[in-house]
Amino acid sequence: MSATSTPLTPELTEYLRSSFSTEDDVLRRLNAEAAEAGIPAIHIASEQTACLQLLLRSISARTVVEVGSLAGYSTIVIARALPPDGTVIACEKDPRHAAFIRRKAAEAGLASVIEVVEGAALDTLPTHPILNTPIDDTSIDAVFIDADKPNYQNYYDLLVPHVRVGGFVIGDNALAWGQVHMADPENEPKNVRALRAFNDRMATDPRFLTTLIPLGDGMVVGLKVSA
Ligand code: DHB
Ligand code: MG
């Protein structure tokens, strides 16, 4: 008999939520207003918030690139884990969502920390200054990928060379809504297939020490251990 993981029941999830979340009134109000604005409620779960912040604080992150910011829930969570002169480069494709994030960032007193980059990240990032400094001066401390699933590997290819050794790459939805292990090449949704491929890519990339933290819909987390 090997040691086992304890399955997360709804009751245990509720316990995690009540004891280990940093969600506050600002974030609850953001969710309520996002819902009123018709923005889908597919932000990270509140039980992921402290985990994300712990990871970022553990490496004294200053510069984080977020791909897929939606209404800015995770953007604010990330910004709050950075020093006052830190930056979240928040890539958001939808102009309405981008405007919503800018407003929420200002209301949260984080306008100077959150830089909203509007447009598809694969179009906007290649000309962004963060990817146009010499690789030796690479300044990205962490990347949080939470956008369209089939492009996760493209974001990874673009950003990983610019992540410092000792930095993190984190991908949301690593459990693929509970379907990540159900490989079905014929019928499976393309997003499930893409998320499994992304997990495999990170798990086998020798530059990273990688694990999957099963909070929310799961976060695959890789620490860059070599260039
Ligand atoms: C979806 C996307 C997400 O990033 C998420 O966390 C949950 C759901 C979606 O596309 O349905
Ligand atoms: Mg997600």
CA distance 116 to 108: 14
- For the Cβ of 48 lying below 6 angstroms from any atom of ligand 1, the answer is no
* Residue to mutate (ligand 1; options 217, 219, 220; most atoms within 8 A of CB): 217
- Which residue has a Cα nearest atom 7 of ligand 1? 42
- Single out the residue of 201, 185, 192, 188 nearest to residue 153, CA to CA: 201
- Single out the residue of 158, 170, 197, 163 nearest to residue 66, CA to CA: 170
pLDDT given for residue 1 in this prediction: 60
- Which residue has a Cα nearest atom 8 of ligand 1? 42
Cα of 95 from ligand 1 centre, angstroms = 18
Report the run of H or E that residue 165 belongs to, with start and end. strand 163-172
The model carries a pTM of: 0.97
Cα of 43 from ligand 2 centre, angstroms = 6
pLDDT given for residue 161 in this prediction: 95
Is 199:220 a contact under the CB 8 Å cutoff? yes
- Which residue has a Cα nearest atom 9 of ligand 1? 42
- Which residue has a Cα nearest atom 4 of ligand 1? 146
- For the Cβ of 217 lying below 6 angstroms from any atom of ligand 1, the answer is yes
Is 91:64 a contact under the CB 8 Å cutoff? no
Q: Is 43 helix (H, G, I), strand (E, B) or coil?
A: coil
Q: Is the Cα torsion angle 163, 82, 55, 199 positive or negative in sign? A: negative
Cα dihedral value 21, 23, 78, 142, nearest 10? 30
* Residue to mutate (ligand 1; options 31, 39, 42; most atoms within 8 A of CB): 42
pLDDT tops 70 at residue 75: yes
Q: Which residue has the higher pLDDT, 137 or 131?
A: 131
With cut-offs at 50, 70 and 90, classify the pLDDT of residue 139: confident
CA angle, residues 119, 174, 123, in degrees to nearest 5: 15
CA distance 105 to 130: 21
pLDDT given for residue 134 in this prediction: 82
Report the run of H or E that residue 213 belongs to, with start and end. strand 208-213
DSSP state of 92: E
Query: What is the distance, to the nearest Å, from the Cα of residue 151 to the centroid of all Cα atoms in its chain?
Result: 14
Cα of 146 from ligand 1 centre, angstroms = 8
| Arithmetic mean of pLDDT, 144-160 | 98
- Which residue has a Cα nearest atom 5 of ligand 1? 42
Neighbouring-strand partners of residue 89: 65, 115
Helices (H), the chain: 10-19, 25-36, 49-58, 73-79, 95-107, 121-124, 152-159, 190-204
Q: Which residue has the higher pLDDT, 187 or 49?
A: 49
Report the run of H or E that residue 64 belongs to, with start and end. strand 63-67
- Give residue-wise pLDDT tens across range 188-224: 999 999 999 999 999 999 999 999 999 999 999 999 9
pLDDT tops 90 at residue 133: no
- For the Cβ of 146 lying below 6 angstroms from any atom of ligand 1, the answer is yes
Cα of 68 from ligand 1 centre, angstroms = 10
Residue 15: Cβ within 10 Å count: 13
- The angle that helices 152-159 and 190-204 make with each other, rounded to 10 degrees, is 30
CA distance 141 to 6: 32
